Structure 1
Amino acid sequence: MITVRTVDYHTAGEPFRIVDCAPSGMPPVPGDTVAERCATVIGPGGSGTAPRRGALDDVRRLLVQEPRGHAGMYGGFVVPADDDGAHFGVLFWHKDGYSTACGHGAMALGVWAVDTGRVAAPDDGDAPVRIDVPSGRVTATVHRGAGRTTGVTFRNVPALVGARKVPVATSFGLAEVDIAHAGACYAAVRARDLGLDVSRAALPALVRAGQEIRAALATHPATWHPGGPLLSGVYGVILHEELPDTPFGPHQRNVTVFADGQIDRSPCGSGTSARLALLAEDGRLGPGEDLLHESVTGTVFTGRMLEGGVTEVTGTAHRTGEHAFVVDPHDALGTGFLL
């Protein structure tokens, strides 16, 4: 009987399933850095959305697939940091494979690190949790008040605008797509340009549009990142719409379609970073201004630009459960299935 223990959180509605590899007895992942370990689990000839089979990837499949997970599940394997400058590292995973960035996951991990005592935190004040991810080192600063966690701010790697108004033909019409890198590559398009709105009712059409745009940009040079192939290629498509500005800056609603048609229930942490870079280049987000970024579920992140393309995104993360998943050796379903 195989047992895998997890601690689950949600960040603004998006799930994050945490496996602390060392105490869980998970197979070790070769590599000197988190980026190298990510390449190892993807495997030679594999990709972020089509990894090769392996011992640790079987654990990913077990936790994300039914009957123990679902197509919208997200999570991470906690692994050693690159060096003593970070508290730990993480390999992010989803139903199709692995990602180089995950803002909502970093936020959940920050709160988890404080909740478990892995990182000391005051009753009142802030506790920075430094995390090595495949795209670099990020920080989740956990905000505390009266002995409890009140919020968390994710500081991402620098965001980089790749291209503007790239024409993409879809079954909904021609889209003008903006491309930005923020730990992962995102393509952003106005939903109304495709005759869509960002709503739950429109989700099937939004997902189809996102999949078409991602496929159309598969070989576009603007999706290439200077850091190499691991950071290149469109990971998510952000379909967004304008809402009335707040006194503090722009207000938008979005749905991020990532990997092979997965929907982010949150406003998307690293996707928010990408939007911030594009809005700043447009002159719509100045110093001291915030983006109020809303998800299709109505949850909210607040984002701001700092110097040098660095972004910060603030939200909340809460624990939802602790689990001991088992695999009976006589269970014909094995690691499960996806519908």
Structure 2
Amino acid sequence: MDAVSTVDFHTAGEPFRIVADASAALGGVPFVGDTVAERRVHAMAAGSALDDLRRILCFEPRGHADMYGGFITPPDDDGAHFGVLFWHKDGFSTACGHGTIALGVWAVETGVVAAPDTGTTEVVIDVPSGRVTARVHTEAGLVTSVDFVNIASFVLATGVSVQTSRGDVLVDVSYGGAIYAQLNAASVGLSVEPGDIDALIALGREVKWALNDAAVAQHPDDPRQSGIYGTILFEQTPAPAASDASRPLAPHDAIVSQRNVTVFADGQVDRSPCGSGTAARIATLAAEGTLTENGTLQHGSIVGSTFAGSILSRTRVHGIDAVIPQVSGMAYRTGESTFTVDPRDPLTPGFVLR
């Protein structure tokens, strides 16, 4: 492996490591596949050079068990600015909302996508689950916020009974670019607080693996997206005052205020409120009538950061009622690195302790 340069961001506390030229880091090895979805399948194959690079950048000592990042790829066609392969410690994901927000900031701040000093710029990105948009807002040359406009999101099942070490729990299953199981943490005596994190992770893993191969976790059109990507454990929180909301609120807005922790992959914890997970929650809340087009989901995380979620429109896909969700937040650059691998290093590609 040649030296690989990265730019690191965090979105609401969740890391996102961007590799703008993964092909160069691999000695010019091209991406295989005509679309981002096809490239993801190739990247996951045994012996993939991209998977080796993922492990080097994600595993210790260069990363950690909760690292997240993405390889920039060509787009599927001229309708998008670029594509991205999202990755974490266990592989390559189909979607990543917090990463999309970070990519919007990166694209504007680096000039990959031209933007006015003051205004809104749409950064269009092809991801394995489809085509998404980061609406990047700038004021006086500085990025101030980003709206992640997701693909159609919908409910797959409600009230699914899952047997766990804490007894039977009821979960809803929704798709927001990836498939999420969702349950109320209070129903099992837990709270979305750092002090409960070990128990939250354990329960999240139990639910994921109990449902991962079940019928409720099958994507209705694309089997490559089937399986439970994460478990969202949520709780109700007091609604903020309008002055404390993540975006200006109109008088008729109804605020739904919740906090969550998303346990994804195999025990990985999202420090942010989870972008695609927020989209899945929007789909669930819209289907049950709790969230309407005039409402805002104030979605908090276990570290106290917040996304604002809303319904842009309603649609129907695969014969299922769906919504087009928008998730608003902000990402900040945390540093730049050039990583190398000493051929004598016996710990290559690295390790994780959980």
TM-score of the superposed pair, with normalisation by structure 1: 0.95
Task: Write the distance in 2 (CA, Å) between the matches of 1:36 and 1:200.
Answer: 38
* SS of equivalent residue, structure 1 residue 129: strand
Out of 240, 245, 250, the position equivalent to 2:239 is: 245
1:222 CA drift (Å): 1.5
Cross-structure match for 1:331 = 345
Cα distance, 1:219 vs structure 2: 2.2
Report what 2:250 is aligned to.
none
Residue 222 (structure 2) aligns with: 228
Give 5+ residue unaligned stretches, structure 1.
Answer: 44-51
151, 156, 160: which is aligned to 1:162?
Answer: 156
Q: Deviations over 1:209-264 (max 9, x none)?
A: 00000111022212111232211110010000001234641100000000000000
Query: Structure 2 matches for 1:34-183, cutoff 5 A?
Result: 34-43=36-45, 52-183=46-177
Contact 1:252 1:294 in 2 (8 A): yes
Q: 2:332 aligns with which of 318, 335, 339?
A: 318
Q: Which moved more, 1:100-109 or 1:18-27?
A: 18-27
Which one-letter code corresponds to 2:60 in the other structure? E
* SS of residue matched to 1:152: strand
Partner residue, 1:201: 195
Q: How far did 1:20 drift?
A: 1.2
> Structure 2: which amino acid aligns with 1:68?
R
The question of whether the paired residues in 2 share the 8 Å contact of 1:65 and 1:335 is answered with yes
Tell me the equivalent position of 2:307: 301
* Residues 172, 195 of structure 1: 8 Å contact kept: no
Q: Is the 8 Å Cα contact of residues 174 and 194 (structure 1) preserved in structure 2?
A: no
CA distance in 2, matches of 1:263, 1:24: 31
**For residue 47 of structure 1, what is the aligned residue in structure 2?**
none
Q: How far off its partner does 1:195 sit? A: 1.3
8 Å Cα contact 1:279-1:285 kept in structure 2: yes
Whether the aligned pair in 2 keeps the contact of 1:11 and 1:317 (CA below 8 Å) is yes
1:143–1:249 Cα change, 3 Å: same
Does 2:34 correspond to 1:32? yes
- TM normalised by structure 2 equals 0.91
The equivalent of 2:247 in structure 1 is none
Secondary structure of 1:201's aligned partner: helix
What CA distance in whole angstroms lies between the structure 1 residues aligned with 2:2 and 2:310?
44
Shift of 1:23: 7.0
Give the whole-Å Cα distance in 2 for the aligned partners of 1:216 and 1:25.
38
The residue aligned with 1:281 is: 287
Identity of aligned residues (%): 56
Kept after mapping to 2: 8 A contact 1:2/1:328: no
Q: How far apart are the structure 2 equivalents of 1:42 and 1:132?
A: 18
How far off its partner does 1:2 sit? 3.1
For residue 236 of structure 1, give the secondary structure of its aligned residue in structure 2.
strand
Q: Give the CA RMSD over aligned residues.
A: 1.2
CA distance in 1, matches of 2:21, 2:190: 42
Specify the code of the residue in structure 2 equivalent to 1:294: G
In structure 2, C-alpha distance between the alignment counterparts of 1:63 and 1:291, rounded to whole Å: 34
Q: Offset of 1:179 from its aligned partner? A: 0.3
Rounded to whole Å, the distance in 1 between the matches of 2:23 and 2:270 is 29
> What letter corresponds to residue 326 of structure 1 in structure 2?
T
- Deviation at residue 29 of structure 1 after TM alignment: 1.9
- Aligned equivalent of 1:269: 275
- Shift in Å, 1:281: 1.1
Aligned residue pairs total 331
> Partner letter of residue 3 of structure 2?
T
Q: Which moved more, 1:53-62 or 1:234-243?
A: 53-62
Kept in 1: contact 2:4–2:22 (CA 8 A): no
Per-residue CA deviations over 1:32-81 (Å, capped at 9, x if unaligned) read: 000000011112xxxxxxxx232111110000001100001000000000
Contact in 2 for aligned 1:165/1:176 (Cα 8 Å): yes
C-alpha distance in 2, partners of 1:30/1:213?
A: 34
1:15 aligned onto 2:15? yes
Q: Which runs of 5+ in 2 are unaligned?
A: 243-253, 316-322
SS at match of 1:216: helix
Q: Check conservation: 1:87, 1:130, Cα contact below 8 A.
A: yes
